[in-house]
Amino acid sequence: MNVSYVKQKKIGEGTYATIYLAKSGQTNKTYKILKDENELESVKEVAIKRIKKSEHCFGLDYSAIREIKTLQRIKTKYIIDLLDVFIHKGDIHMVLEYCPLNLETIIKDNSRTIMPKDIKNWMLQILKGLYEMHKRFIVHRDIKPNNILISNTGIIKIADFGLSREIDRDRMTTAVVTRWYRAPELLLGCKFYTAAVDIWATGCVFAELFLRVPFFPAEDDIQQLNCILKVMGTPTEQDWPSMKKLPNYYDFEKFQRVQMRDIFTATCDEALDLLLSMLVYDPNKRITTSKALLHKYFGSQKCL
């Protein structure tokens, strides 16, 4: 471990990284993190993300470099703050602000009550973070509850930018976004997609906050689209004119759309309207972050 940091305990591990809670090796040393757009806050504890070296990768890990560049480029209170980067024993280590919770933990904790005002507050912050990305033509490509952290002061922090990249005219891989949050265009092999894939994933998170279970939980990639069709109904050419041009298009089984009010029985009309505008089949018709932030849901006193 770098002499500047003392590892306290492991707090997370995935396929590509291990995360530790750490503090400075210097007594009473603090770190400055972004509390508000123009205000810094001093903290003693940080999270250190050690990127695991791939067996097939020689040199530095490209996804880690991409994550570092993205976090250096976007400094806003709703995105995890990158404080330092160092290499130890050949592994890249990213020093990040420490957040004790994520939305997945909260959703699964049955002892916690999630109030409508909590969901509205979290969604507003998530969309503000996404807006900062999308206006810079950066797409996250892995929005899910586990990657949406909550700081000690209750602020949403979007994290894990290992799959993020700039939107351009080049082909992009469809092997992005955790399956349950993957947009229909990705499932059908679209390689020229947009930030709309983040909006679909955010809509899935929105639904999950109300239901406390994943909205489209399929067991494999083949079943994922079918899972969506059974709830949202089979799209027509009028709904999604370009769908037949996608590489993996096939004649879908015909399903009628489920009455959303039967699923979201306690959800206010404004919230349901925003949710459905995020879960639109045609990415060109899906609501954008800028329009979502202006949605009546956030100004309504009914959804508290």
Same domain, 17 and 123: no
Least confident range from 59-68, 123-132, 175-184: namely: 59-68
Residue 2: predicted pLDDT = 46
pTM as predicted: 0.90
Query: Using CA atoms, how far apart are residues 247 and 268, in angstroms rounded to an integer?
Result: 38
- Residue 298 DSSP SS3: helix
Angle 130-136-137 from CA coordinates, rounded to 5°: 85
Query: Using CA atoms, how far apart are residues 29 and 169, in angstroms rounded to an integer?
Result: 45
Last residue of a domain, one of 69, 97, 125: 97
Same domain, 165 and 279: yes
Same domain, 145 and 46: no
Residue recorded with tokens 């509850």: 145
Same domain, 115 and 234: yes
Last residue of a domain, one of 46, 80, 97: 97
Rg (CA), the chain: 20
Query: Using CA atoms, how far apart are residues 167 and 12, in angstroms rounded to an integer?
Result: 30
Same domain, 54 and 174: no
Q: Burial code of 162-186, b = ≥16 C-beta within 10 A, e = fewer?
A: bbbbeeeeeebebebbbbbbbbbbb
Q: In the predicted model, what is the mean pLDDT of residues 244-271?
A: 94
Domain that holds residue 24: 5-97
Query: Using CA atoms, how far apart are residues 198 and 206, in angstroms rounded to an integer?
Result: 12
pLDDT in tens, 183-206: 999 999 998 899 999 999 999 999
Specify if 84 maps to a domain: yes
Same domain, 64 and 116: no
Residue recorded with tokens 């590509």: 16
The rounded Cα 79 to chain-centroid distance in angstroms is 10
Same domain, 210 and 78: no
pLDDT in tens, 27-72: 556 665 655 656 556 667 899 999 987 665 555 677 888 899 999 9
CATH number at residue 209: 1.10.510.10
Specify if 304 maps to a domain: no
Same domain, 28 and 124: no
Q: Are 96 and 46 in contact (CB under 8 A)?
A: yes
Last residue of a domain, one of 51, 66, 97: 97
Same domain, 278 and 292: yes
Same domain, 289 and 148: yes
Same domain, 160 and 277: yes
Count: domains in the chain: 2
- Residue 154 DSSP SS3: coil
Helices 269-278 and 196-211 pack at an angle, to 10 degrees, of 140
Which residues are annotated as catalytic?
A: 142
Same domain, 91 and 120: no
